[in-house]
A and B are shown apart, each in its own frame.
Chain A
């Protein structure tokens, strides 16, 4: 199987083949190596590569993989290469086009910093949300125009609530 993976700013082609039980041949952009990979818990894996041992934690939601190796977190977006070729580029991989900006946790809106029709930069603050005694600035994932503002100051938010739509 082949996947297209996005890590940080870069995209990689990751090929994987199970050559034996729990033994995989993996190629990252053509660089091949063998991995003895055992699933040792619900989200926990033990990997041995060239006799080097790694304990890895994989947290999956949709096409987003949060991988914890050696105390560091790697945020990987992974898509099946075949599906991508068939269905064109998936929205999850490229942050383009219409974006619904949401919050991952419940909270309260303290202030809305933008209005509909505003032009915003990537990383610009959109809304200030209070949760867990802290005020958090929700920033814009892309540059674009504000299409919709769905909240106002004082609103209570559920986890996953859409705050702003940017295009």
Chain B
């Protein structure tokens, strides 16, 4: 086992990984940008090294600096977390060259799965259904037009290196091809430094289902069941569940088997996720494979009872997986709400700043993975996700009710968060019924009636009035104090004047 691990990340995931290190008696090395000197992951770690200025390209994405710190600190392995360098094959390669273990799959696998066209081709060969689309890269508008004629409209024009909701456009008709082609190509070149494009048939509001894979270095692969992440806003997941409400028993077995097939096809090692889209007729199609730990891994952990980060570290250190597929069984239901520093009342604008107050929910079935603390500053440079709330219940309904309860206890002061937005989703009848898809928020949020948002209108107005009255009273008090202070100045001056006049009377006091 490793003696020391460097965590090339920040926020809640860095804290999550450091916690496992503590449990395994591994020393943790944190890295931090200038904006993160006071961050929680720095406090939690055994060692901490500065790696540069706030912008991520100069710190958390600076491969050279991170490799330097790894060598300097004597770390034997690097855990990349998610985001930043987690799916950067160049980084994985550099770790290898420098004799440092990269906790994740090989650089070759990262590269293959990062190239969406190659990933589609590999999965197709392995017998896994993929979304109908182009078989290779398309390099002109004419080629796009040709393939589009074959697969039909509407379709998605996507960047080969795309991800995270960037580098894609919906094309509804032939007329839109020219402008979409230009837009995606320039976005792909500027955001991913790779202008290659491909197309996929557009599925109308599918559900997003994914399967968690765990594999050791000796060819053993198990799946840890599925998750559903259909509740998304602008292609960003906000609520995830395990197991997926979209799947029945038969589909669950089938998708699990298919996912293992896919992981075997690329000789996958470590923790990974195969994402699928599920259409209305319950056909599923491979979307992409994430060669890293996912943000939503905690819901799986809670339901199958396996610590994924621990398994990841052990596999990287050469351990054998101790489980067979039949040993792994899901218990109950887990839901995660991602807590973002953003203002749902103001178009979800990011809301960085100082956290003046923080009270996390507690009680049965509640897990907080939180990257901030009371008094911490949420910097403007990084992702607005500050924490995750993971709830377990005996079944989905219990989990939803418990989540509502926990969100009610959750208090963040000083910055705005999306907690009220989560409450709205968790009370929505379609969410309750499990009847939703990736179009849920677009379809429902604009119809949200303001009235239903204000069940405690009178209490809110009363509170505002009480607060305003207090403010008024404080203002009056300050004026009074100021007045009193001024008055006492007069009195003081008068007293001083009378004292000064005393010597004049000396020797002629009333006693004499």
Segment of A41-49, A91-99, A112-120 engaged in the interface with chain B:
A41-49
Q: How far is the CB of A65 from chain B (nearest CB, A)?
A: 4
A59 — which chain B residues lie within 8 A by C-beta?
413
Any chain B CB within 8 A of the CB of A70? yes
| CA gap between A80 and B468 in the complex, in Å | 9
A58-B464, A78-B464, A132-B381 are known; give 10 further A-B pairs, CB within 8 A. Answer: A16-B469, A47-B466, A56-B459, A57-B411, A66-B416, A69-B459, A70-B408, A71-B407, A74-B454, A80-B468
Segment of B105-113, B195-203, B346-354, B430-438 engaged in the interface with chain A:
B346-354
Q: A5-B461, A67-B464, A72-B456 are in contact. Are A131 and B356 (CB under 8 A)?
A: no
| CA gap between A152 and B343 in the complex, in Å | 24
Q: Smallest CB-CB separation from A69: which chain B residue?
A: B456
Q: A9-B450, A72-B423, A136-B347 are in contact. Are A67 and B463 (CB under 8 A)?
A: yes
Determine whether the beta carbon of A71 is less than 8 Å from that of B408: yes
Q: How far is the CB of B15 from chain A (nearest CB, A)?
A: 19
Q: How far is the CB of B86 from chain A (nearest CB, A)?
A: 15
Any chain B CB within 8 A of the CB of A26? yes
Q: Smallest CB-CB separation from A38: which chain B residue?
A: B466
- Give the interface of B toward A (CB within 8 A): 341, 343-352, 356-357, 380-384, 404, 407-408, 410-411, 413, 416, 419-420, 423, 450-451, 453-472
- Give the interface of A toward B (CB within 8 A): 1, 3, 5, 7-9, 12, 14-16, 18, 24, 26, 28, 31, 33, 35, 37, 39, 41-45, 47, 49, 54, 56-60, 65-76, 78, 80, 103-107, 131-134, 136-139
| CA gap between A75 and B345 in the complex, in Å | 8
Determine whether the beta carbon of A107 is less than 8 Å from that of B351: no
A67 — which chain B residues lie within 8 A by C-beta?
460, 463-464
Determine whether the beta carbon of A1 is less than 8 Å from that of B407: no
Q: Smallest CB-CB separation from B471: which chain A residue?
A: A60
Partner of B457, one of A7, A56, A68, A136: A7
Determine whether the beta carbon of A41 is less than 8 Å from that of B380: no
Q: A59-B413, A73-B345 are in contact. Are A133 and B408 (CB under 8 A)?
A: no
Determine whether the beta carbon of B468 is less than 8 Å from that of A133: no
Determine whether the beta carbon of A45 is less than 8 Å from that of B464: no
Q: Smallest CB-CB separation from B449: which chain A residue?
A: A8
Determine whether the beta carbon of A26 is less than 8 Å from that of B465: yes
Determine whether the beta carbon of A16 is less than 8 Å from that of B466: yes
A132 — which chain B residues lie within 8 A by C-beta?
341, 350, 352, 380-384
| CA gap between A66 and B419 in the complex, in Å | 14
Determine whether the beta carbon of A107 is less than 8 Å from that of B462: no
Q: Smallest CB-CB separation from B450: which chain A residue?
A: A8
Q: A7-B461, A54-B459 are in contact. Are A71 and B468 (CB under 8 A)?
A: no
Determine whether the beta carbon of A73 is less than 8 Å from that of B450: no
Determine whether the beta carbon of B457 is less than 8 Å from that of A47: no
Q: How far is the CB of B240 from chain A (nearest CB, A)?
A: 19
